[in-house]
Amino acid sequence: MLRRAHVLFLFCAALLAGALLACSFGLAELSASEQAAAERNLAIVVNQSNPVNELTMAELRRVFLGERGHWPNGRRITLVMLEPGWPERAAVLTSIYHMDEAEFNNHFLHGLFTGEVFVSPKTLSTPEGVRKFIFNVPGAIGYLRASDVDKTVKVIHIDERLPGDKGYKLHVPPREGK
């Protein structure tokens, strides 16, 4: 009787240890997958003081094309772009502008000249610069990999979805070497 109890106890302990091991592996796997998802998702970020929390893809496109000059609180919209060559910029040109670099440049040259575009995009050399710019300028809007976002900026919903949500449309290829 006593021996059977011992065997039962050892079996339960082994079961519990296995479950814990599986959970820890699972969590690690989950964390790694979330990390990868954050790497692949492109977040649209604004200043923390900006009252806008959500945009549709169409509204976002208008903002990025410079066809809208001010936010609802009256703040002037400042568009922040990364320098050419960054995958984030390429993803934005593809997903939002539906343009290549030349068409993007022509659009703004032409629009500013004709007055159809109200915003001249600011070009920063690093995602960190983008983040700091948006932190300093209340009306700024830009884009960052979800993994580069911190509390100094605010991520807005696009078509009611945040980066990582199912159906989120803005993605960026993983960084090279990762």
Partner 1 sequence: MPGTSTGPAQTWGRFSRYSSALLFFFTFCAVVVVGLFVIRDLRRADKDEQNMFTGSVLSLHRIAALEYQTQETRRSTLYALGTADSNLHVKYADQSREADHLVSEGIAAYLANARTRNELDIGSRLRRDWSTYLSVRDEVLASILEGSAKEAVDRDLTEGVASFDRVRQDLAEIELIYDQQAAQQLSNVDATSRRTILRVAGVLAITLVATIASVWTIQRMRMTGAIQLAKLQMEFVASVSHELRTPLAVISSAADNIADGLVREKDDLRKYGAAIQTQSRQMMELVDQILLFSATKDRAGHAAFRTLDVARIVDSVIHQTAGFVRASGFHIELEMEPALPSVRGDASGLARCLQNMIVNAVKYGGESRWIGVRAFLRHSHLRGRSEIQIAVRDRGIGIAKSELARVFEPFYRSPAVVGEQIHGTGLGLSLSKNIAEAMGGHLTVESELGSGSVFTLHLPIVGDPGSQAAAENGVRGTTEK
Choice between 132 and 171, CB closer to partner 1: 132
Tell me the sheet residues that pair with 143.
Answer: 44
Cα pseudo-dihedral 71, 72, 75, 76, rounded to 10? 30
Q: Which of 6, 62, 76, 110 binds partner 1 (CB under 8 A)?
A: 76
C-beta of 131: minimal distance to partner 1 in Å?
Answer: 9
Note whether 133 binds partner 1 by CB under 8 A: yes
C-beta of 45: minimal distance to partner 1 in Å?
Answer: 15
Classify burial at 90, counting beta carbons within 10 Å of its beta carbon; exposed 0-12, middle 13-18, buried 19 or more. middle
C-beta of 81: minimal distance to partner 1 in Å?
Answer: 10
Note whether 138 binds partner 1 by CB under 8 A: yes
Note whether 137 binds partner 1 by CB under 8 A: yes
Note whether 124 binds partner 1 by CB under 8 A: yes
Classify burial at 10, counting beta carbons within 10 Å of its beta carbon; exposed 0-12, middle 13-18, buried 19 or more. exposed
C-beta of 77: minimal distance to partner 1 in Å?
Answer: 9
Note whether 141 binds partner 1 by CB under 8 A: no
| Segment interacting with partner 1 (CB under 8 A) among 53-61, 110-118, 134-142, 165-173 | 134-142
* φ/ψ of residue 45, rounded to 5: -120, 145
Number of residues that bind partner 1 (CB under 8 A): 17
Q: Which of 62, 82, 56 is nearest to 134 (CA)?
A: 82
Q: Which two tokens stand for residue 16?
A: 């519990």
Note whether 140 binds partner 1 by CB under 8 A: yes
Note whether 129 binds partner 1 by CB under 8 A: yes
Note whether 164 binds partner 1 by CB under 8 A: no
Give me the residues that bind partner 1 (CB under 8 A), please.
76, 78, 80, 120, 122-126, 129, 132-133, 136-140
